[in-house]
Amino acid sequence: MAKLKKPFNILASIRLAVFIILAMAVIAAVGTITEARYDAEVAQKLVYQSVYMYTVMGLLIITLIAVMVDRWPWKQHHAGFVLAHVGIITLLFGAWLTQRYGVDGSVAFETGQERNSVTVKDREILVYSTLDGNNFSKMYQGPEDFIRHPPSEKFPYIIHLGDEDIRIVQFENFAFKESEVSASDAEQDGPAIRFQLENPNVNLTQWIRRDARRDSMDVDLGPAKVVLATELPAPSGRNEVVLVEKPKSDDLDYVIYNKDNSVRKKGHVRQSETVETGWMGMKFRLLRYMQHAKEKVTFTPSPTASPISTPAIRFTFHGEEFWLGLDTVMRYFQKDGMYLISYGHKRLQLPFALKLHQFKVGMYEGTDRAASYESLVEAPGRGLVTISMNEPLKYQGFTFYQSSFEKDEKGEPVASILSVNRDPGRWVKYLGSMLIVFGSIVLFYFKRVQWAKALRGKS
């Protein structure tokens, strides 16, 4: 027992308590600086959920227990002291439960759509394969924690796919996307055009590349839309330039639509030719047309976070090198099939499905700013339920809050976004907080009793 007395005294000492407080202050300062330079996710993973933080929290719990044991046997005036210490330990345990088993994500759906999954902050890599383009087989699904453990050329993240491997050799949490479109000799590569739209106030140049397995591809430019398709699609109620491909031809058919779906003009256009659209003095110029084209995407690292930066990975597959940004999908074509490689946020399946029946937005009078918005959803066994900004839905352990909504190019709401939360440690944290408060009250009560006795003794 004598041998254990010295280390026990150290654990219950004020010096260790001071060290823990200083360590927590240093970690909080580093976390604040990291979050300001990068973002909250990086600060969480590298600082607040680091081995250093867990070590300090572990020492704090051990110290709290040691201090309570050191006061044993407890007397009546120790009640507040013990309750407060137990409350702190309970609060930390509740926080761990939330961090380990909680869910914090979002779900977005349009009117009439049904959703049974929630998108969370964690990321994952998915690989599918198909022989006919319709039936997909999952080859790989795995979590990604590249912020803590970034891959490198020396230590790549390897995904085994039979005889071939995907080797992820670089991760950039903040990067700017760059793309280059060039002619291709491969028949499986679809066509691409480079066009220009200009008037006295606008001058915009952009590429459209159509995947060979899709019938059309478009670029939405707000007041106008440009479409590249194999066949003439139905008008969309927009100012629209539709380009229709012709097999083994150097020119394209075009149709220009007005907002009322009427045809303003149609004809043929070749590379370097210009067409007057008829709206807003806009001219459409076909700068480049390639019947088969490939796009090479790269990412340039950024030292800090930016509104236009995104996480990206660089990997090699079949002797080729590729970049893939977060929440994007790459199709890799082979003679006998195709691979689908996805890098994005993880989706968790819900034990039920919600269906959005109606979404309403209330505006401030005379403005286009949303004053309120609410979703009318159908929950199994509950029927139709309204979720508004101040009225969340609590259902089967999950809480759904009306978070925001998405607009179309006309500014009309098209999708409702709900934030989804499940906190298994909530009541444990509430209990811990109550114990701390109650313990503090009891502690001050006994202090007051001691002061009163001392004053009576002097008198």
Q: 137-179, pLDDT tens digit by residue?
A: 999 999 889 999 999 999 999 999 888 899 999 999 999 999 8
- Average pLDDT of the residues in 408-436: 88
- Mapped onto helix, strand or coil, the DSSP state of residue 238 is coil
Q: Is the pLDDT of residue 408 over 70?
A: no
Q: What is the pLDDT of residues 249-276, one digit of tens each?
A: 889 999 999 988 899 999 999 999 999 9
pLDDT category of residue 220 using cuts at 50, 70 and 90: confident
Pairing relationship of beta strands 337-363 and 328-334 according to DSSP bridges: antiparallel
Full-model pTM: 0.79
Please answer whether residues 255 and 276 qualify as being in contact, where contact means their C-beta atoms are separated by less than 8 angstroms.
no
pLDDT category of residue 201 using cuts at 50, 70 and 90: confident
pLDDT score at 152: 95
CA dihedral sign of residues 7, 11, 13, 16: positive
Residues forming a β-bridge with 340 = 128, 331
Task: Give how far the C-alpha of residue 281 lies from the chain's centroid of Cα atoms, to the nearest Å.
Answer: 40
Pair of tokens at residue 172: 């950039």
Pair of tokens at residue 328: 């994007």
Distance between CA atoms of 234 and 261, rounded to whole angstroms?
9
Please answer whether residues 324 and 331 qualify as being in contact, where contact means their C-beta atoms are separated by less than 8 angstroms.
no
Choice between 163 and 63, residue whose per-residue pLDDT is larger:
63
* Lowest pLDDT segment from 21-35, 68-82, 287-301, 445-459: 445-459
Q: What is the pLDDT of residues 330-386, one digit of tens each?
A: 888 777 778 899 999 999 999 999 999 988 887 777 666 777 888 999 999 999 999
pLDDT score at 457: 63
Please answer whether residues 448 and 88 qualify as being in contact, where contact means their C-beta atoms are separated by less than 8 angstroms.
no
| Total residues found in the chain within this entry | 459
pLDDT score at 453: 63
pLDDT category of residue 187 using cuts at 50, 70 and 90: confident
- Average pLDDT of the residues in 70-95: 90
The C-alpha angle with vertex 110 and arms to 105 and 115, in degrees rounded to 5, equals 50
Residues forming a β-bridge with 347 = 119
Please answer whether residues 172 and 321 qualify as being in contact, where contact means their C-beta atoms are separated by less than 8 angstroms.
no
